[in-house]
């Protein structure tokens, strides 16, 4: 193994040319190379000018996904599952060592560049992230060796190299054992085919996707202004009810907002002013005998006193509670907001519509700001940027990929027509017919290039439709431009589930979708 010194001021390693040559020769001489998440190693090797010989690679991550797609695929867990060996002790040890080093650096070497959330050069770092690789300490494993060069010679830095070598050693034995199981099950040809995926993902990550900078930045500015203005109006409406509205950050909802929408209930102590919210929207009820916990707590100067708290109420909007079908708790999701808009009027409707629009713009803003945080300039252009998002072919229990840093699989295409002109264009919408645009407009080909769209057109449904001989589904696939379904299996579902609503509109393309988009069409689409 090789260890390199890192400059603590620049975080750049000093890599001897002889080491690069040794690594390249080792890879060239190998018959097979076992790796856990080979795509990551390929990127690391590329930074020192070495191309990974993909034809020699055996990826244990791909093996784990093939053998048990709904099990965990991290190295520690798979070593337990397939080898009966727990290597977590090595990771625990290096985590403790690195975090200790980070504490020392903060105190004694504050000018060193340790990893931290908010650093524009490290956009993926997030203390609260559930992904291990996003934790700041994982990006500072160079610290123990760096500190050893400036501190006492007894400083122990073995933990990191022991951890690193434990990973590589166990990856080899894990790969051999998993390969044996795959061959015993007759899955080797499938595995060989799926080994193409890490290489494809690696190439896609290297190239990335281009973003139109000027459009994205101007849209961020417009949406930010809209959100600020909408927040002021929402707070003004709430103040008319005597409620000090505290809007949650982004598109989320907090208890203060729930107090305004459902009505506020609280219990308070007249003696000390202590106040406790009663979450009646989730079934909580005020306790008429509740004792103030602050007054009841004794101190050196005063004995505890038992004061019964009074119950207070404010109706505010007093909208009925709509429960989530999943959690059976109060929800303000898209369906609930649509139900409110269908049933309320006057100022209530104004508040619900404005809050819904603000949340949509907040969501779009969070996406666009993430694109801006991760993008890099495209050489030779002034207005185009490139995003190198992470792509994982083995992240889900099924065969779909995942995307991260940032997620480019949820780029919304939703747009809102201007209600002032019904989408025809007016001064209010700057004659565009829209008040909210698809986030996909942020992306586009760089100068001198063009993009082509490829779509397998519901291949997951076509295969079982033809295999089973289901005539209605075959018809909609073979006649995508003809009634009654116009190529939509959602409409086919609707014709069965809601025949009295669907068939009067069957001759009009998207007739049922436009008429019942917010409820019945969505239920057919999402429920299948």
pLDDT tens digits for range 285-303: 999 999 999 888 887 667 7
Q: What is the pLDDT of residue 143?
A: 92
Q: What is the pLDDT of residue 398?
A: 87
Rounded distance between C-alpha atoms, residue 293 and residue 306, angstroms: 8
Rounded distance between C-alpha atoms, residue 280 and residue 276, angstroms: 12
Cβ(64)–Cβ(74) below 8 Å: no
Q: Which structure tokens are listed for 27?
A: 């890879």
Rounded distance between C-alpha atoms, residue 67 and residue 191, angstroms: 10
Q: What is the pLDDT of residue 327?
A: 83
Question: 211 Cβ partners below 8 Å, 6+ apart?
Answer: 371, 375, 384, 385, 386, 387, 442, 443, 444
pTM of the model: 0.82
Pick the range with the lowest mean pLDDT from 64-68, 364-368, 396-400, 447-451: 396-400
pLDDT tens digits for range 425-471: 888 788 888 888 999 999 999 999 999 988 877 888 889 999 999 99
pLDDT tens digits for range 78-132: 999 999 999 999 999 899 999 999 999 999 999 999 999 888 888 988 877 777 7
CA R_g for the chain: 29
Which alpha helices (DSSP H) does 310-376 contain, by range?
334-343, 346-374
Q: What is the pLDDT of residue 433?
A: 87
Rounded distance between C-alpha atoms, residue 465 and residue 24, angstroms: 50
Cβ atoms within 10 Å of 316's Cβ, excluding its own: 18
Coil, strand or helix at 277: strand
Which long-range CB contacts under 8 A does 268-274 form with residues at least 24 apart? 268/309, 268/310, 268/312, 269/294, 269/295, 269/307, 269/309, 269/310, 270/307, 270/310, 271/295, 271/305, 271/307, 272/307, 274/309
Q: Which structure tokens are listed for 225?
A: 């202004």
Rounded distance between C-alpha atoms, residue 77 and residue 60, angstroms: 12
Cβ(199)–Cβ(54) below 8 Å: yes
Higher per-residue confidence, 252 vs 101: 101
Higher per-residue confidence, 43 vs 426: 43
Rounded distance between C-alpha atoms, residue 143 and residue 3, angstroms: 12
Cβ(48)–Cβ(24) below 8 Å: no
Cβ(446)–Cβ(210) below 8 Å: yes
pLDDT tens digits for range 485-506: 998 889 999 999 999 999 999 9
Q: What is the pLDDT of residue 155?
A: 62
pLDDT tens digits for range 176-232: 999 999 999 999 999 999 999 999 999 999 999 999 999 999 999 999 999 999 999
């Amino acid at each position: 193994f090789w260890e390199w010194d890192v400059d603590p001021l620049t975080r750049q390693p000093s890599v001897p040319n002889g080491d690069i040559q040794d690594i390249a020769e080792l890879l060239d001489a190998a018959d097979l190379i076992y790796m856990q998440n080979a795509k990551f190693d390929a990127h690391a090797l590329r930074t020192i000018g070495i191309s990974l010989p993909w034809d020699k690679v055996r990826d244990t991550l791909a093996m784990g996904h093939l053998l048990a797609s709904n099990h965990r695929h991290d190295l520690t867990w798979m070593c337990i599952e397939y080898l009966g060996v727990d290597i977590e002790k090595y990771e625990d040890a290096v985590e403790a060592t690195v975090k200790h080093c980070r504490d020392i650096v903060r105190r004694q070497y504050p000018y060193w560049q340790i990893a931290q959330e908010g650093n524009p050069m490290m956009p993926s770092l997030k203390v609260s992230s559930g992904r291990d690789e996003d934790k700041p300490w994982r990006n500072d494993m160079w610290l123990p060796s760096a500190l050893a060069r400036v501190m006492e010679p007894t400083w122990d830095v073995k933990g990191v190299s022991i951890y690193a070598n434990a990973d590589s050693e166990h990856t080899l034995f894990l790969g051999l054992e998993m390969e044996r199981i795959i061959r015993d099950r007759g899955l080797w040809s499938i595995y060989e085919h799926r080994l193409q995926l890490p290489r494809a993902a690696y190439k896609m990550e290297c190239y990335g996707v281009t973003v139109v900078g000027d459009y994205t930045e101007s849209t961020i500015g417009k949406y930010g202004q809209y959100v600020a203005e909408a927040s002021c109006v929402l707070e003004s409406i709430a103040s008319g009810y005597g409620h000090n509205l505290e809007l949650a950050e982004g598109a989320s909802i907090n208890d203060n907002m729930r107090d305004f929408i459902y009505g506020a209930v609280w219990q308070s102590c007249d003696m000390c002013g202590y106040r406790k919210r009663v979450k009646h929207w989730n079934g909580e009820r005020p306790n008429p005998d509740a004792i103030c916990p602050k007054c009841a707590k004794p101190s050196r100067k005063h004995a505890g006193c038992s004061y019964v708290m009074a119950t207070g109420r404010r109706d505010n909007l007093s909208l009925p509670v709509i429960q989530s079908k999943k959690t059976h708790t109060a929800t303000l999701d898209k369906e609930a907001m649509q139900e409110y808009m269908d049933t309320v009027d006057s100022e209530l409707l104004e508040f619900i519509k404005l809050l819904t629009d603000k949340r949509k713009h907040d969501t779009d803003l969070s996406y666009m700001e993430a694109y801006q945080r991760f993008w890099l300039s495209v050489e030779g252009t002034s207005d185009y940027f490139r995003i190198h998002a992470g792509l994982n072919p083995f992240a889900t229990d099924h065969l779909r990929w995942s995307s991260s840093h940032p997620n480019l699989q949820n780029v919304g295409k939703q747009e809102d027509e201007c209600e002032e002109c019904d989408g025809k264009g007016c001064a209010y919408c700057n004659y565009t017919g829209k008040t909210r645009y698809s986030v996909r407009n942020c992306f586009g080909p760089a100068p001198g290039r063009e993009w082509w769209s490829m779509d397998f057109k519901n291949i997951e449904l076509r295969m079982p439709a033809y295999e089973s001989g289901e005539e209605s589904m075959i018809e909609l696939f073979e006649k995508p431009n003809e009634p009654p379904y116009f190529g939509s299996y959602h409409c086919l579902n609707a014709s069965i589930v809601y025949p009295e609503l669907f068939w009067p509109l069957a001759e009009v393309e998207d007739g049922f979708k436009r008429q019942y988009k917010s409820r019945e069409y969505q239920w057919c689409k999402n429920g299948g």
